[in-house]
Amino acid sequence: MEPDKMDENDWKYHGEGNKSLVVSHVLLPKVLRLLKYPAEDSENPPQTTKQAFRQIQNIVDFSSNVMSSLLGDKFIHSGEVVKLPLEFVRQLSIKVQHQRPAWRCDKVMDIYSGCALCLPNLTSPALHQPSHAAPLCIEIKPKCGFLPSSKHVSKDIKTKVCRFCMHQHYKVANGKWKRRSLYCPLDLFSGNRQRMHFAIRHLIEEPQNNFKIFKDAQCIYSSKEGADDSLDLTSLLHHLRPYFLYGNARINSHMTNKVVLNDFIQVLVNILLSTGGGDGGVVMDRRGEGRSFCDASPFNRERIQHGSQGLPTSSVLSRILQTQMLDSLDIEGLFPLYHRVEQHLLDFPKERCRLQIDGPYNEAFLQKLQKCPTEDDGSVDYAVTRVHQYRVAMTAKDCSIMITLVPSDEEEEDKDGLSTQKRIRDFLLSRPPAFSYSVSILDLDPKPFDSIPRQLRLDQKIVSGYLRTGGGSALPKSTPSPPAPGPEDCTLLFHPV
């Protein structure tokens, strides 16, 4: 990108989160991620250009130096900080304003610093060839995949019902969502195909902020906060159907919507369990933990048939789960350590730099995380390292997985060095298509040190709200997906990217 040739008409609104807004280029597979401020600060930006640049550089450094090492660099796209002409940013802000959801407009785009994060547009992958069907991109925000077992947990319910399922009650009670989702992260992270299939099916039925589908760089399936309109699953299946019409038995009129949905889910399960050529034989067994079942999940665990109860250690879900489990104390056990650090900083404010409270997120920061002693020696250094571990775990609990699927001919030779075909077992009824696929992990910003008191308050509200409303007694019951056919039926060809 050449700054002097930037034109706001070359960019379009792509989406936004709580802290940033994203625009995508209409021709190039690139996105720009710009910071957002509270609307009341629109005339008086809360930070200088130098501070804004440092904030975005911290995101890049945290992703490339810390999360990349923990999650695997093959999954990470850290991007780079870019400086943009201020007039371009102002015109861009005006252009996208009418496309923004009303409930996001309590914040405005940063038009003062000219700083942005430039990243690849994973919904418009470079591996797409015009002769093939448009890429399908599936974004999953899996959330926390384990139950806490810390001795510091004060409410027993937290060791039985996962945070996501309890949070659903809180969100519905506060009007954020009209209906509770029956998705449970522990089912997805179980490594058991039946439970994973069940979890993804419920993500599709009630996606909320946890599931989106893009086709040819356009979002075709998602939820809106507070909206009461039902999702058009029929329209989604109409989009999906052409990707699964293979084999003599798969004639359009004979292929039911149920079969299309089942095939689609099985493809996602296979990719999430894929090791991408890694140590596929090693499985992280979770049966001994006692933390792999949530009492609020409507999945009937008695219906589990074949399949292991664990994840291949180099799979994307396993890497995320291991990083999440850096939170070994729970917020209740972590908060006294945070308070120790906070008090130390009040007495010695210049120590904030040495303790790397606001970065830099470099090799030294990572080494401190990995060498933290198990026993508390009463020092501020021990406390701050535990706080940093918790912050990293929180990032992993809030990350997103982007799966990009591009249909391809299994016979054709890949021009980009992707000729190694990986055979992954699938459960389809006849010869399935071959896909090129890639898996990426997004939303890897460092969580602010000062957000920990708010995290404790939210945890207390979620738990007390769940106990007050009767929790699981009000949860709608459901039946698990039918058992998947055995692995001997057929195979699905993938070209991992």
The confidence score (pLDDT) of residue 256 equals 83
pTM for the model: 0.87
Q: Which pLDDT tens digit goes with each residue over 93-148?
A: 999 999 998 888 899 999 999 999 999 998 876 655 555 678 899 999 999 999 99
The confidence score (pLDDT) of residue 284 equals 59
Could you tell me the fold of the domain covering 3-120?
Answer: Phosphorylase Kinase; domain 1 (3.30.200)
Q: Which pLDDT tens digit goes with each residue over 46-101?
A: 889 999 999 999 999 999 999 999 999 999 999 999 999 999 999 999 999 999 98
Phi, psi of 247 (to 5 degrees): 90, 155
The confidence score (pLDDT) of residue 264 equals 93
Q: Which amino acid does the sequence have at 408? A: S
CA 354, CA 360: separation in Å to the nearest integer? Answer: 10
The confidence score (pLDDT) of residue 385 equals 97
Which residues are 129's β-sheet partners? none
Averaged pLDDT for residues 324-344: 97
CB atoms within 10 A of CB 38: 10
The angle at the Cα of 341, spanning 339 to 343, to the nearest 5 degrees, equals 70
- List the one residue out of 164, 175, 125 whose CA is nearest residue 141: 164
DSSP helix/strand/coil, 104: helix
CA 380, CA 386: separation in Å to the nearest integer? Answer: 10
Strands (E), 280-394: 283-285, 310-312
- List the one residue out of 398, 375, 493, 377 whose CA is nearest residue 446: 398
CB atoms within 10 A of CB 12: 16
The confidence score (pLDDT) of residue 282 equals 60
Return the structure tokens found at 492.
């699905």
Q: Which pLDDT tens digit goes with each residue over 371-391?
A: 999 899 999 999 999 999 999
Radius of gyration (Cα) for the chain, nearest Å?
Answer: 23
DSSP helix/strand/coil, 436: strand
Most confident of 230-234, 340-344, 429-433: 340-344
The confidence score (pLDDT) of residue 223 equals 86
Categorize the per-residue pLDDT at 186 as very low, low, confident or very high, splitting at 50, 70 and 90: very high
Q: Which pLDDT tens digit goes with each residue over 192-248?
A: 999 999 999 999 999 999 999 999 888 899 987 655 556 788 889 999 988 887 644
11 secondary structure, DSSP code: E
66 secondary structure, DSSP code: I
Intra-chain end-to-end CA distance of the chain, in Å: 25
Q: Please, are residues 182 and 476 in contact by the beta-carbon 8 Å criterion? A: yes
The confidence score (pLDDT) of residue 130 equals 59
Given the structure tokens 């026993």, which residue do they identify?
Answer: 375
Q: Where are the domains of the chain?
A: 3-120, 136-326+396-496
Return the structure tokens found at 381.
């250094």
Averaged pLDDT for residues 318-343: 97
Q: Which pLDDT tens digit goes with each residue over 278-310?
A: 444 465 555 545 568 999 999 987 777 665 568
| pLDDT greater at residue 39 or residue 12 | 12
